[in-house]
């Protein structure tokens, strides 16, 4: 029997690339998204089930899992991929923006993980792959809330890996760097037209970001790393995707002072 993966956020970017990659490798795929009626590519693949799931709606999660099991017999891997970035000064974030950032990136991931665990326990096997970010171990200016969610995913996943290991359930983290998905272009921004003190800093940082992330990792390259995490048969926790992520993680591991000196020199706007 072919293995089955359930993927969140499959309408675009890493999620869609992963659905296509796993399907091409012969896996069954439960591809979830908020608007499945708009999907035209994945619906043409016989080993892909496209179905609706908004990770902010906990009540739908058991339905999606049941649909996947009914169609393919069982689910072997959960890929928690759905997420987005909230950019902008923290002071200017609204309560609604803060809540949604955590609801999607953290609580949705936790709720779906909790929902799949009874199935994995019954099978005495399963793998949970959480898409984190290089921003789960290093930080940039004006992305404090996004970083907070990804640091949460990192700590949650590492601890969960320990407690599930005795049940033959693996937990893995994939940490992409800057990727070609339109992620930051479509991201939400905090802001307040009455507060302009941050404007020069934000403008300067966004110019730096654009100049330093021109050569990005593709979503399909990240999908290949996800496939490695799903199939390598090891208990390895972290998988870094992208040369920029590998470089920045290496600098962070060199020590706090060298890392902060590097960030001050290369990632702070010149006029600040």
Concatenate the DSSP letters of all residues of the chain into one string: ---EEEESSTTSHHHHHHHHHHHHTT-EEEEEES-GGG--SGGG-TTEEEEE--TT-GGGHHHHHHHHHHHHS---EEEE-----EES-GGG--HHHHHHHHIIIIIHHHHHHHHHHHHHHHHT-EEEEEE--GGGTS--TT-HHHHHHHHHHHHHHHHHHHHHHTTTEEEEEEEE-SEESSTTTT-EE---TT--TTHHHHHHHHHHHHHH-SS-EEHHHHHHHHHHHHHS-S---EEEESHHHHHHHHHHHT-HHHHHHHHHHHHS-TT-
Catalytic residue among 21, 146, 198, 227: 146
Catalytic residue among 11, 132, 133, 157: 132
**Spatial distance between the Cα atoms of 107 and 225, rounded to a whole number of angstroms:** 24
**74 is a catalytic site residue:** no
**159 is a catalytic site residue:** no
Catalytic residue among 150, 170, 198, 239: 150
**132 is a catalytic site residue:** yes
**Spatial distance between the Cα atoms of 88 and 92, rounded to a whole number of angstroms:** 7
Instruction: Give the residue numbers annotated as catalytic, written as ranges.
Output: 132, 146, 150
């Amino acid at each position: 029997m072919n293995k089955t993966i359930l993927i969140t956020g499959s309408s675009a970017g890493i999620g869609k690339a992963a659905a296509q990659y796993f399907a091409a490798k012969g896996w069954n795929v439960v591809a979830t998204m908020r608007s499945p009626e708009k999907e035209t590519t994945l619906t043409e693949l016989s080993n892909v089930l496209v179905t609706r799931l908004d990770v902010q709606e906990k009540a739908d999660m058991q339905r999606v899992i049941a649909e996947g099991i009914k169609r393919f017999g069982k689910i072997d891997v959960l890929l928690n991929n759905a997420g987005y970035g909230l950019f902008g000064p923290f002071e200017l974030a609204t309560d609604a923006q803060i809540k949604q950032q955590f609801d999607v990136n953290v609580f949705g991931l936790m709720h779906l993980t909790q929902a799949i665990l009874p199935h994995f326990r019954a099978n005495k096997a399963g793998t949970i792959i959480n898409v984190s970010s290089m921003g789960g171990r290093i930080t940039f200016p004006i992305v404090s809330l996004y970083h907070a969610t990804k640091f949460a995913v990192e700590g949650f996943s590492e601890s969960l890996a320990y407690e599930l290991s005795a049940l033959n359930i693996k937990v893995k983290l994939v940490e992409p760097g800057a990727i070609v998905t339109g992620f930051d272009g479509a991201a939400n921004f905090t802001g307040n037209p009455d507060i302009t003190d941050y404007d020069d800093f934000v403008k300067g940082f966004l110019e730096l970001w654009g100049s330093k992330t021109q050569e990005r990792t593709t979503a399909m390259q990240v999908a290949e790393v996800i496939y490695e995490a799903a199939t390598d048969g090891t208990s390895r926790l972290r998988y870094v995707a992208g040369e920029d992520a590998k470089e920045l993680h290496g600098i962070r591991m060199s020590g706090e002072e060298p890392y902060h000196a590097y960030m001050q020199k290369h990632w702070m706007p010149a006029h600040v």
